[in-house]
């Protein structure tokens, strides 16, 4: 495997981060997760724009142009021979600094790109659906940390993820400070009730996922009524269908939330319809703009 790091392609064993890098010391940096299908970068522009927007929000200047960034990702994909199930993880850190919190004592940000295979969930779960819990750990509020910043500090999500792992599950739903459904530890969430597709609004304190946006687009194209609004935990548990969306997860049915069985305990028809629409979308040139 070759890692692109600050303009060089390095063997994995050579790609090292300085112990004084503020990305490591303080989680001061941003990242993206991007899928590769058929050797092509999925929703490249949307992901690149989001990374640069995240960096701008924390006054972190990405040391490469967007085109240089795209060229570097393309080189990584080609060099590592990625086709389907490929995954790109670009990371921009504040860079090497001192043992102090001041971000602007770091002379130059650092950037590296990992391109590898990914499988977030076992393949059989796409046929059977998965169970989740509602985590006790609440989502950090937008006043504390802007959810639009995809930062290296994911401890809030990790602590909720541990709750799920502790009970033998793979994912947890996180509520916001007001007790409404926000998102999962690594995915956005949708529910279906009486034929209407519902998802928490951005104001709930969520990351605006690229796969979430594509799912909304595909639902509207199919004529499905869609509402973005606050969702209570009881609504989620009483839904006809629930599913997750994410770069690595794609579209994953949820068949149980805590002790509540969703629908008939199997992936629902709208979930299947949108998953198929997503897979069809992957085959189009529009998916790689």
Q: Which residues contact 175 (CB under 8 A, 6 or more apart)?
A: 134, 135, 138, 139, 181, 182, 233
Q: Is 78 a catalytic residue?
A: no
In whole angstroms, how far apart are CA 229 and each of 133, 186, 240, 272? 21, 20, 17, 23
Please identify which of the residues 66, 78, 150, 237 carries the catalytic annotation: 150
Catalytic residues: 150
């Amino acid at each position: 495997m070759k890692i692109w790091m600050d303009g060089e392609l390095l063997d994995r064993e050579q790609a090292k981060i300085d112990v004084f890098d503020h990305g490591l010391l303080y989680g001061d940096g941003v990242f993206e997760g991007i899928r590769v299908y058929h050797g092509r970068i999925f929703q490249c522009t949307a992901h690149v724009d989001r990374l640069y927007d995240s960096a701008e929000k924390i006054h972190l200047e990405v040391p490469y142009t967007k085109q240089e960034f795209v060229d570097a990702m393309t080189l990584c994909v080609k060099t590592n021979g990625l086709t389907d199930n490929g995954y790109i993880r670009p990371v921009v850190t504040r860079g090497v600094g001192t043992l102090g919190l001041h971000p602007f004592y770091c002379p130059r940000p650092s950037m590296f790109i990992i391109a590898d295979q990914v499988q977030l969930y076992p393949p059989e779960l796409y046929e059977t659906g998965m169970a989740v819990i509602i985590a006790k750990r609440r989502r950090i509020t937008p006043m504390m940390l802007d959810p639009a910043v995809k930062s290296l500090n994911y401890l809030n999500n990790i602590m909720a993820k541990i709750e799920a792992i502790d009970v033998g599950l793979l994912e947890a739903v996180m509520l916001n400070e007001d007790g409404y459904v926000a998102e999962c530890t690594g995915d956005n969430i949708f529910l279906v009730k009486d034929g209407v597709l519902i998802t928490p609004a951005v104001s709930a304190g969520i990351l605006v996922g690229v796969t979430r946006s594509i799912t909304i687009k595909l639902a509207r194209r199919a004529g499905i009524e869609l509402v973005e609004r606050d969702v209570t935990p009881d609504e989620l548990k009483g839904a006809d269908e629930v599913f997750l969306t994410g770069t690595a997860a794609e579209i994953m049915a949820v068949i149980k939330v805590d002790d509540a069985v969703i629908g008939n305990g199997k992936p629902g028809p709208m979930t299947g319809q949108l998953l198929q629409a997503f897979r069809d979308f992957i085959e189009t040139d529009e998916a790689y703009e």
